[in-house]
């Protein structure tokens, strides 16, 4: 009803290409990937060949120099199709910007082209068993010894954790300090002492590999420190978190839009008491209410996308966006399951998967309670 003026004909053509790729190369296999607990590496390589990984990277690092709208299209199409196992957004639009924005030229040349091609899969390890949204409470340490850091500790709930070849690890290079003692390190998973724990059995996102990671005296070359000096990690994280929260919002609204459409199609066909479910006033009113709320969230999200493109999306606004859109996503999924009746609770129906997948959106990238605290501090 309200045109999305951010996306021109070229971007809509790109959207069609992404959608067709996902329909052919991902959707038919996603059920098996749910059983496997991860998607195939082949999908990553095929995506890399078509430029769907790290599109915003400059050409010298293997990208195509696209702006963030192209990444937004990819994230929206993955979310709209319910393909929650695909962890490209974290790889392309969270990990890659850290390396591009803070990495040395050697780090960029070594890692970014492999990330763009799909040869190397990445993750970022922030959360620990005792430290989630409170990043200052991180216990993992990286102590300098000569030309290496000795990394010890553990992480949990790490997206892409099983498939990852490279992980950005949040660690204390000065354990006596809080935020000022935090640094980011580029750690290759093949190095001695790096151990991947179990692939965690989650309520939703069954095809997304989410893992525990363990570090026991891992020798990390000092050159793999991200940034010019130690102690910059907390600042780097704070700078990049608004973009991460925008990504969560983009996927939340796309998922809500898809769920609404699935439900509309279902209630037109499903009959109760001799007539289609859409014929009942309650059904129409519920769908009308959700349509209005989803439309408002879409306009808010697109405005924040504009601000991000102009490098003006601030931390409180991104927090508001993340909290609002993910709360709405969960509301939409719940209402849409209800309108599906018993079938909405069956795993074979997309709405059941979407309902299960949506719940974590209010938890990761900073819990929604933390988002409210961030907004309140800006008053």
Q: Is 34 a catalytic residue?
A: no
With residue 191 as reference, give the H or E element that holds it. none
3-state class of 188 per DSSP? strand
pLDDT of residue 134: 74
With tokens 């399951």, the residue in question is 337
| Spatial distance between the Cα atoms of 74 and 83, rounded to a whole number of angstroms | 11
Q: What is the dihedral of CA 172, 173, 174, 177, to 10 degrees?
A: -40
Report, as ranges of residue numbers, the positions in the chain whose pLDDT lies below 70. Answer: none
The active-site residue out of 34, 77, 244, 257 is 244
| Spatial distance between the Cα atoms of 300 and 253, rounded to a whole number of angstroms | 10
327: number of Cβ within 10 Å: 16
First to last CA, the chain: 34
pLDDT of residue 178: 82
Q: C-alpha angle 153/156/161, rounded to 5°? A: 105
pLDDT of residue 361: 98
pLDDT of residue 9: 96
**Burial status of residue 243 (CB atoms within 10 A of its CB: 0-12, 13-18, 19 or more):** middle
pTM of the predicted model, to two decimals?
Answer: 0.96
**Burial status of residue 161 (CB atoms within 10 A of its CB: 0-12, 13-18, 19 or more):** buried
Helix ranges (H only) for the chain are 9-25, 30-36, 41-49, 68-80, 88-90, 96-102, 105-117, 233-269, 281-309, 315-340, 350-358, 368-377
Looking only at the bridges linking them, the beta strands covering 166-172 and 122-125 are parallel
| Spatial distance between the Cα atoms of 87 and 90, rounded to a whole number of angstroms | 6
Residue 308 CB contacts under 8 Å (≥ 6 apart), including other chains: 68, 242, 243, 246
């Amino acid at each position: 009803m309200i045109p999305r003026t951010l996306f021109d004909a070229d971007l809509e053509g790109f959207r069609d290409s992404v959608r067709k790729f996902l329909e052919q190369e991902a959707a038919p296999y996603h059920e098996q990937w749910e059983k496997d607990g991860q998607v195939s590496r082949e999908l990553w390589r095929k995506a890399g060949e078509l430029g769907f990984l790290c599109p915003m990277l400059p050409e010298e690092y293997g990208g195509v120099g696209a702006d963030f709208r192209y990444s937004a299209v990819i994230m929206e199409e993955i979310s709209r199709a319910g393909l929650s196992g695909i962890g490209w957004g974290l790889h392309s639009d969270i990990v890659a910007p850290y390396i591009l924005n803070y990495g040395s030229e050697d780090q960029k040349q070594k890692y970014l082209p492999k990330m763009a091609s799909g040869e190397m899969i990445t993750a970022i390890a922030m959360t620990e068993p005792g430290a989630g949204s409170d990043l200052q409470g991180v216990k993992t340490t990286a102590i300098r010894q000569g030309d290496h850091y000795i990394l010890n500790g553990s992480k949990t709930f790490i997206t892409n954790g099983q498939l990852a070849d490279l992980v950005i690890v949040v660690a204390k290079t000065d354990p006596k300090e809080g935020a000022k003692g935090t640094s980011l390190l580029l750690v290759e998973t093949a190095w001695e002492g790096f151990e991947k724990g179990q692939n965690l059995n989650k309520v939703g996102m069954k095809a997304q590999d989410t893992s525990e990671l363990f570090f026991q005296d891992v020798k990390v070359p000092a050159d793999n420190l991200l940034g010019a000096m130690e102690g910059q990690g907390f600042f780097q994280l704070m700078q990049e978190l608004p973009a991460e929260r925008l990504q969560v919002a983009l996927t939340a609204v796309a998922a809500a839009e898809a769920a609404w459409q699935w439900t509309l199609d279902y209630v037109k066909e499903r009959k109760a008491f001799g007539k289609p479910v859409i014929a009942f006033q309650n059904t129409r009113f519920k769908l009308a209410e959700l349509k209005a709320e989803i439309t408002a969230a879409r306009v808010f999200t697109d405005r924040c996308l504009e601000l991000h493109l102009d490098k003006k999306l601030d931390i409180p606004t991104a927090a508001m966006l993340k909290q609002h859109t993910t709360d709405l996503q969960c509301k939409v999924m719940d209402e849409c399951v209800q309108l599906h009746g018993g079938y909405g609770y069956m795993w074979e129906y997309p709405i059941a998967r979407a309902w299960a997948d949506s719940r974590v959106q209010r938890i990761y990238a900073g819990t929604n309670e933390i988002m409210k605290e961030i907004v309140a501090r800006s008053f």
